[in-house]
Structure 1
Amino acid sequence: MNKIYENMLYWKKLSQKERQARIEKALQENVNFTLDTSLGYPASKLDSKVYNEEATFLANAPTLQAYVANPNHIGCHTLGVSEKAFKGTQEMEREVLDVLAVDLFKAHPNSYDGYIAPGGTEANIQAIWMYRNYFSYKLGANPYEIAILASEDTHYSVPKAANLLMLDLLKVPVDFRSREIDTFQLENIIIKAKEKGKKYFIVVSNMGTTMFGAIDNPNDYIHLLEKHQLVYRIHIDAAYGGFIYPFSNAESELNFENAKISSITIDAHKMLQAPYGTGIFLCRKGLIENVLTKEAEYVEGMDLTLCGSRSGSNAVAVWMILFTYGPFGWCEKINILQMRAQWLCQQLDELKVPYFRESFMNIVTIPSEFIADSLVKKFDLVPQKHSDDNSWYKIVIMDHVEIDHLSTFIADLKESLYAEEGITNEI
């Protein structure tokens, strides 16, 4: 059995009645802007002239009830106190984080902090902001002594963070075909950075790159940074792969059991199919305090997030998905997607069309010279670059992508390849 299920503490499958009762209980524990006298909050339920809270369908739609109630989850609810007006749904957010941090990514209970962010981009920026401040506040680093290390396939949120935080980003080349980090060039980059005065490194290691689904090996960074006696912290960007890779790879060590990994980003609005604007940030205890905004004195508790106010209904939506499936149901879903991806790869092998696919992921990326413009338009394929020098197109096997869709693509691909070679269907 996949070790993801060993010692599962929090994640289980609940019935529809159990899920509805849990959400209703949470909403009852929150402030009720219709019935309660609440004069001090710059917030309310969704406007009842636009969103009718008496609509009959809401009685059997607890997640939508949460959207109408409009809870604000400002702050971080794994540390200290929080705004008591929304304590019911805040507890549901903590239940989600327990499932993800402890059951999925193997943290010890109560050994982590985190929150449901408005997307993986913010969660990555939160991590880099946190480490920059940690190096500065705890180790006395100057900003020019700190650098970000990440592969050239890393998500654009990382250069965005470098720009916002005024840190140098050192991009590491990868092999064109394998998408593996070039460790020879990585060591040269580290040596040159050290010569220029860099002493502290924020490493972003990918669990599923956006274009290729490639998995970085954090040990590539660890070995070389320790060889050169440099200080570092490792953040895992699992925004795409976090809800796939731990299930498909029973031997994954990209979790908090690895003492070198300090934080993880996951996106619920990708594979989990939660509403957009639902990222997740997790980190070990003792780190998130470095981004405390002391000036937020009117907020009950500590403002430890980049965004401040955020929708509690997104936490309810993630809770609903997790506890509808349970771990076994989710694993079954991932296995089906893996099977479809494998089928596609088998068809490409028969056509002798090269591709990249990380064996535990559901992205298949094909060199652009094998993809005709007609295929790009018909199947809405996504390029690596929206420019003339694009080298790859990707197919992402999501829940809606069935074998019938892939079969149609393969038939059209075969026809386009024959047309290029001047071969007719009669041959």
Structure 2
Amino acid sequence: MKKEFPQKGLDLERIKKSLEVGNNYISEDAVFLGYPQSTPHPLGVEILAKYIQYNENHVGTFTNKNMQLNMTRQLEKELIEMMGQLYGDEDVDGYVTSGGTEGNIMGIWIARNFFEDNVCLIKTDLTHQSVDKACNLMKISEIINIPYTEKFQMNINSLKENILKKFSIGIQKFIIVCTVGYTMTGTIDNVEEINYLLQELEKQYNIKFYIHVDAAIGGLVFPFISDSEFAFKYKYVYSISVDPHKMGYIPFASGIFMCRKGMQKHIEVPIKYAKTVMDKTLISSRSAASAVACWGVFNFLGKNGFKKILQDLIRLKEYLIQKLEEKQLAMVISDPGTNMVCIHFINTNNGLLPEQIEKKYVLDGFYIKYQEEEIVCYKIYIMPHVTKKSLDNFIKDLENTF
């Protein structure tokens, strides 16, 4: 029977009983492994609880305003400045989003309007499905899926070939979606080499390029474990999407979108109820509490705090890999040196785990092309709620299963 809207309000005790929290992924016996989410940082929970009661609405973008801002808007502005500096350009525009999908749609929306027409979007087979949504919404029909290399990165030789092939039939504007932390493999596209290739092609053929970086997974990982230049250090990177509710340990829903200064003008629309004010976001109304939680946790942890957390998680991941390989339970398909690993289980039904194991550890198998064949793999994220004991239990369950 379907739930009906009640005529009379229900008894408060009945409501509270219905909302009692059951088991979650903190349990060491059945730990949540398959997705990049975890129990949020306690400070983030505290800040969110404190500010959610004020129900403050953030409409618009605050990085392009010189006027006096109230406290929460000022904190969001500072947050975007901090993140811009982390990614190579402190003079960026941007705002706190609902997550990576919104950020990817924003980047591709801006790129499409920036180029206006006759544009081709290039991605790989590993690219997140939100990019497909964006192409559908923007009615981008020229789409190329570039093969990935054995290191699960965009194949740069194929990228060049496909750009020149499209150029030969009159297409001169290209949106390139690069990923920093593919959901399935954790690997990153070589943005530096891609940027260099695009520079050479622009010089030679006067082709125009826009790189959007999907860093929902890796945006709060790679800057803290690598000294390499990142994102806005590269000429053609115009926008980036990051997810604090993944590797930033912020409560859902918290994403961040950033772009080069002034690029949001390509999607701005006037707010009819506020004179001279333009809306340069996708969803307009946003919770102030998410922005403040991000500001608080990021300032509390700092670069050193994020690095320490990641080092601990990577050690746990290496322990898991060692145990899996020692006991010949699985082979590593991709280990990008982060807190994530993509593996293929051996001696199972075509690589598939039994349903009870999948459910217990929240694991979903998927097909991936590896050494010229399609195999079933699983992605495992070692997040702050995962312990050595919980991984030992996982290994024991696998041994009993096989």
Fold in common (TM above 0.5) = yes
- TM-score tier by shorter-chain length is 0.7 to 0.9
2:215 is the alignment partner of 1:232 = no
Aligned partners of 1:148 and 1:169 also within 8 Å: yes
Distance 1:296 1:274, change over 3 A: farther
Is 2:126 the counterpart of 1:153? yes
User: 1:226, CA displacement in angstroms?
Assistant: 4.2
Q: Which residue of 2 aligns with 1:130?
A: 110
Match of 1:258 among 208, 222, 234: 234
User: What letter matches 2:121 in structure 1?
Assistant: I
Residues 47, 289 of structure 2: 8 Å contact kept: no
Whether 1:380 aligns to 2:354 is no
How many residues were matched structurally?
343
User: Are 1:393 and 2:378 counterparts?
Assistant: yes
Determine the structure 2 residue equivalent to 1:241.
Answer: 218
- Tell whether the 8 Å contact from 2:270 to 2:277 is kept in structure 1 after alignment: no
Q: Deviations over 1:153-179 (max 9, x none)?
A: 11111011000001132111214x521
Contact 2:47–2:296 (Cα < 8 Å) also in 1? no
| Match 1:94 to one of 73, 77, 82 | 77
2:295 paired with 1:319: yes
Equivalent runs, 1:166-181 vs 2, <5 Å: 166-167=139-140, 168-175=142-149, 177-181=150-154
Whole-Å separation in 2 of the counterparts to 1:189 and 1:413: 44
Give how far 1:383 is off: 2.2
1:309 and 2:282 equivalent? no
Q: Following the alignment from structure 2 to structure 1, what is the Cα–Cα distance between the partners of residues 74 and 301?
A: 20
Measure, in 1, the Cα distance between the counterparts of 2:95 and 2:47: 22
Give the superposition deviation at 1:223: 4.4
Q: Does 1:213 align with 2:186?
A: yes
1:334-391, CA deviations, whole angstroms, 9 ceiling, x for partnerless residues?
A: 11111111111222332343213343322111125444314323322122369xx872
Alpha-carbon contact 2:209-2:236 (below 8 Å) kept: no
Partners of 1:376 and 1:270 in 2: how far apart? 21
2:177 to 201, 204, 207: 204
1:106 aligns with 2:82: no
Question: Matched residues in 2 for 1:390 and 1:277: separation?
Answer: 33
- Match of residue 340, structure 2, among 348, 355, 363: 363
Unaligned runs of 5+ in 1: 1-48, 50-59, 137-142, 418-427
- The residue type paired with residue 129 of structure 1 is W
Shift in CA distance, 351/61, structure 1 to aligned 2, threshold 3 Å: closer
What SS does the corresponding residue of 1:116 show, helix, strand or coil?
A: strand
Q: 1:203 to 1:274 in 2, by over 3 A?
A: same
Aligned equivalent of 2:28? none
Paired residues of 2:224 and 2:303 also in contact (CA < 8 A): no
Q: What is the letter of the counterpart of residue 118 of structure 1?
A: S
1:335 alignment partner, one of 290, 308, 311: 311
The aligned counterpart of 1:13 is none
TM-score normalised to structure 1 length: 0.74
- After TM superposition, give the deviation of residue 97 of structure 1 in Å: 1.4
Give the Cα–Cα distance (whole angstroms) in 2 for the partners of residues 67 and 332 of structure 1.
Answer: 29
Q: Could you tell me which of 78, 95, 99 is aligned with 2:63? A: 78
Q: Is the 8 A contact 2:239 2:259 kept in 1?
A: yes
- 1:197-224 deviation digits (Å, cap 9, x = unpaired): 3211111111101111111112453344
**Whole-angstrom CA distance in 2 between matches of 1:399 and 1:356:** 23
Segments of 5+ residues of structure 2 without an aligned counterpart are 1-11, 13-44, 369-373
Contact 1:159 1:169 in 2 (8 A): no
Partner of 1:52: none
Partner AA of 2:376 in structure 1? S
Structure 1 or 2: more strand by fraction: 2
- On the 8 A contact 2:195/2:234 being kept in 1, the answer is no
Q: Aligned partners of 2:214, 2:220: CA distance in 1, in Å?
A: 12
Determine if contact 2:352/2:365 at 8 Å carries over to the other structure: no
- Structure 1 residue 195: Cα displacement: 3.0
1:251-290 correspondence to structure 2 within 5 Å? 251-290=227-266
Matched, 1:117 2:97: yes
Residues 341 and 61 of structure 1, relative CA distance in 2, 3 Å threshold = closer
Q: Distance in 2 between matches of 1:367 and 1:328?
A: 33
TM-score (norm 2): 0.78
What is the root-mean-square deviation in Å for CA atoms of aligned residues? 2.5
Partners of 1:234 and 1:258 lie apart in 2 by 9
SS of 1:243's partner is: coil
